[in-house]
Structures are given as C-alpha cells and as structure tokens.
Amino acid sequence: MTGNINPKQNQGSSPILTMDRAGHSESLLVNTALSSYNKTPMRRKLVSNLQFQMAFGLAMARGVIVGLLLPGLSAILALYLMSQHSDLLPEQKTILINGLNNLVVTFVWISLLLGLVNGVFGFLISQRFAGPLTRIETWSMQHLMKKNPGTLKIRDKDEFSGVAKALNRIVSKVNEEDPS
C-alpha cells in the first residue's frame, strides 16, 4: 500500500506530485495552495471535490430509492392481487387495473423526483466532508514530502475533526520521539 512521492517542479511555481503504487502510476497536480497550506483560510465552497461530492450525492439518491422500493412494490403487488380477485365484477377489475397503471406511473415519478432531490441535498451536505478531506490529503502529502505543514486544522463541526485530532496527536508524538 505504500508509494513513493516524488516532488517535481512544474514550469511555473506549481509542484506536481507523482505517486507510484503497486505498478500503477498516478499523477496528482497540486497547485500552489499546497505550499501555502497554513495560510489557506477554511472557506466553504459549494464544489470543492466534484468526484467525491457526486459519489456522495449518488449514495443519498440510491438510499432513498432503496427505501421507497419495498413499500412501493408491496402497494403495487397488493393492488395487482386485488384486481385479480375472482369475486370482483368486470367493471371493478377494469377500474383497479387502470388505477394500478396510474399508481405505477405515480410511484416511478415520485421515486425519481425524491431521488433527485436527495441527490442534490447529498451533494450540498457533502461539502462538510469534501473540504476537510482535501485538507487532510494536502496535509498528509506535505508530511510525506517532509515539509512541516504544522497543525492540521479542521472545524469541530466537520466530519473529519476526529481524524484530524488523531493525526495531529500521532504526528506530534512521533516528532517528540524523533525530532529530526
């Protein structure tokens, strides 16, 4: 799981980090913000890590659709079984079958709409994860490059505050043991 991080200087002042791991090579472009990590204010941006936020939003959308599937399918199945009942008059069966079709369409639309709404909601709340995640990644990279990035600062309200506190404790403990 370990990799080598080789800092290279780009044409400008932006350094490029190349990470080789288990035969696969990945390139991470880290902009000048990396060198001025400590000066970067913790501003909340709507989109700070698009791929991560999309995955987060999709997880929320998937969740709500999973939640609606079972009640929806049971309602559809119940109405279908009712419409097939032998004691019903033909007119009643027709009404139930038409109603069943309407119910299916309504359910599909409601599921899609709520999935979309929850996906957007998930995308919006994911910034509480995405910002700190990027910060911890940048901080870890700086540590690996042996550039002392100082204390990792994350808001207490953010999801990664526990991770940040643990990382700070570990790094300060290791540095005390071996100041070099």
Residues that bind another protein (CB under 8 A): 1-3, 5, 19, 21, 52, 55-56, 59-60, 62-64, 66-72, 74-75, 77-79, 81-82, 85, 87-88, 91-92, 95-96, 99-100, 102-103, 106-107, 110-111, 114, 118, 121-122, 126, 128-129, 133, 136-137, 140-141, 143-144, 159-160, 162-163, 166-167, 169-171, 173-174, 177-178
Which of 42, 174 has the CB closer to another protein? 174
Which of 11, 180 has the CB closer to another protein? 180
Whether the Cβ atoms of residue 56 and residue 133 lie closer than 8 Å to each other = no
Tell me how far, at minimum, the Cβ of 78 lies from another protein, in Å.
4
d(CA 67, CA 59): 12
d(CA 28, CA 17): 5
Q: How many of the other CB atoms lie within 10 Å of CB of 161? A: 15
Which of 35, 55 has the CB closer to another protein? 55
Helices (H), the chain: 50-83, 90-125, 127-144, 161-177
Which of 16, 136 has the CB closer to another protein? 136
Which of 15, 72 has the CB closer to another protein? 72
Tell me how far, at minimum, the Cβ of 46 lies from another protein, in Å.
18
Tell me how far, at minimum, the Cβ of 149 lies from another protein, in Å.
12
* Nearest Cα to Cα of residue 48 among 130, 118, 103: 130
Tell me how far, at minimum, the Cβ of 18 lies from another protein, in Å.
13
d(CA 180, CA 55): 40
* Nearest Cα to Cα of residue 113 among 65, 63, 73: 65
Question: CA dihedral defined by 88, 93, 95, 98, rounded to 10 degrees?
Answer: 160
